[in-house]
């Protein structure tokens, strides 16, 4: 069903995971050290990586950081030993999608795997880049250029632009932008979106008062032209 890479140096755990995942009809790749794991991520492009934290050659941390820095967005589920609380925070910080502490219950781990895969499938694929006119925006490097000149853009602006680009041509409502870019925890007013759109226009449009790319659809939302 899905291709899953397990990077784990304890052969007993590795075997147990492999059997269970295969039993759920997944294709399983394995590695017992960080460097091999890194290579397999690049070559085989798995749908999910289950990653032990303590690994020979290249730690789970370092591996995670490295692939994320390269813009690989493959979901990662971390395996941490009990008491590595601090590590857990650092792990999620580095871009892991979930974590399980050892010793773990196999059904729970499988449930988390299913949840991650489901989430990954339902998430629309966000673009890594956007180009139009003389503008180039790189959403992984968080860099933007206009006529080759570096452009200063802030985090929310990248987020908004990225969602608009993902649905290029279609109208995105302010509520959808708030859901996706802000999340549900803090939910500012829809007017906040307008302000960010205004500053995006000021930076990206030739004539911000006559926008050609960031279009208002009155009563509905905004869209980015194709």
Contact with its own copies (CB under 8 A) among 112, 146, 174, 203: 112
Provide the total of helices (H) and of strands (E) in the chain, helices listed first: 8, 12
Only one of the segments 14-22, 62-70, 167-175, 206-214 lies at the binding site for its own copies (rule: CB under 8 A); that segment is 167-175
Length of the chain: 226
Report, in Å, the least distance between residue 20 CB and DNA. 18
* Residue with token string 């180009």: 131
Binding track, positions 118-137, relative to its own copies; x by CB under 8 A: x-------------------
Contact with its own copies (CB under 8 A) among 131, 154, 202, 212: 154
DSSP codes, 148-204: TEEE---HHHHHHHHHHHHTTTS-EEHHHHIIIII-SSS---HHHHHHHHHHHHHHH
The CA distance from 22 to 15, in Å, is 11
Give the number of other CB atoms < 10 A from CB of residue 169: 10
**Would you count residue 170 as binding its own copies (CB under 8 A)?**
yes
Report, in Å, the least distance between residue 42 CB and its own copies. 26
Site residues (CB under 7 A) for DNA? 152, 154-157, 174, 182, 186, 188-192, 194-198, 201-202, 208-209, 216-221
Three-state SS at 79: strand
Q: Which of residues 49-88 bind its own copies (CB under 8 A)?
A: 86
Contact with its own copies (CB under 8 A) among 1, 69, 198, 217: 217
Q: What is the size of the binding site for its own copies (CB under 8 A)? A: 33
Q: Which two tokens stand for residue 79?
A: 């395996």
Only one of the segments 8-16, 59-67, 201-209, 213-221 lies at the binding site for its own copies (rule: CB under 8 A); that segment is 213-221
Angle, in degrees to the nearest 10, between helices 60-69 and 85-94: 20
Question: Starting from the edge strand earliest in sequence, which strands make up the sheet with 172-173, in order?
Answer: 172-173, 221-224, 214-217
**Would you count residue 194 as binding its own copies (CB under 8 A)?**
no
Which of DNA, its own copies, none sits in contact with 209, Cβ below 5 to 8 A by type?
DNA
Give the number of other CB atoms < 10 A from CB of residue 112: 17
Which of DNA, its own copies, none sits in contact with 118, Cβ below 5 to 8 A by type?
its own copies
Cα-based distances in Å from 129 to 6, 95, 137, 145, 203 = 30, 20, 6, 12, 17
**Would you count residue 105 as binding its own copies (CB under 8 A)?**
yes
Residues in contact with its own copies by CB under 8 A are 86, 89-90, 92-93, 105, 107-108, 111-112, 114-115, 118, 140-142, 154-155, 169-171, 175-176, 178-179, 184-185, 187, 217-220, 223
């Amino acid at each position: 069903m899905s291709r899953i890479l397990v990077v784990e140096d304890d052969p007993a755990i590795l075997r147990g995971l492999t059997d269970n995942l295969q039993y759920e009809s997944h294709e399983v790749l394995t590695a017992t050290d960080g460097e091999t794991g890194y290579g397999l991520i690049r070559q085989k492009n798995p749908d999910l990586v289950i990653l032990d934290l303590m690994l020979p050659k290249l730690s789970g941390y370092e591996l995670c950081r490295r692939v994320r820095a390269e813009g690989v967005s493959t979901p990662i589920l971390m395996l941490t030993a009990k008491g590595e609380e601090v590590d857990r925070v650092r792990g999620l910080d580095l871009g892991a999608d979930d974590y399980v502490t050892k010793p773990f219950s196999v059904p729970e781990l499988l449930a988390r795997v299913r949840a991650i895969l489901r989430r990954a499938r339902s998430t629309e694929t966000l673009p890594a880049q956007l180009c139009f006119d003389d503008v180039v925006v790189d959403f992984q490097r968080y860099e933007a250029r206009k006529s080759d000149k570096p452009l200063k853009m802030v985090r929310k602006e990248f987020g908004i632009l990225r969602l608009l680009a993902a649905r290029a041509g279609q109208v995105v409502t302010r509520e959808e932008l708030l859901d996706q870019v802000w999340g549900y925890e803090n939910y500012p007013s829809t007017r906040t979106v307008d302000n960010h759109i205004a500053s995006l226009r000021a930076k990206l449009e030739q004539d911000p008062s006559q926008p050609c790319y960031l279009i208002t659809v009155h009563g509905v939302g905004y869209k980015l032209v194709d």
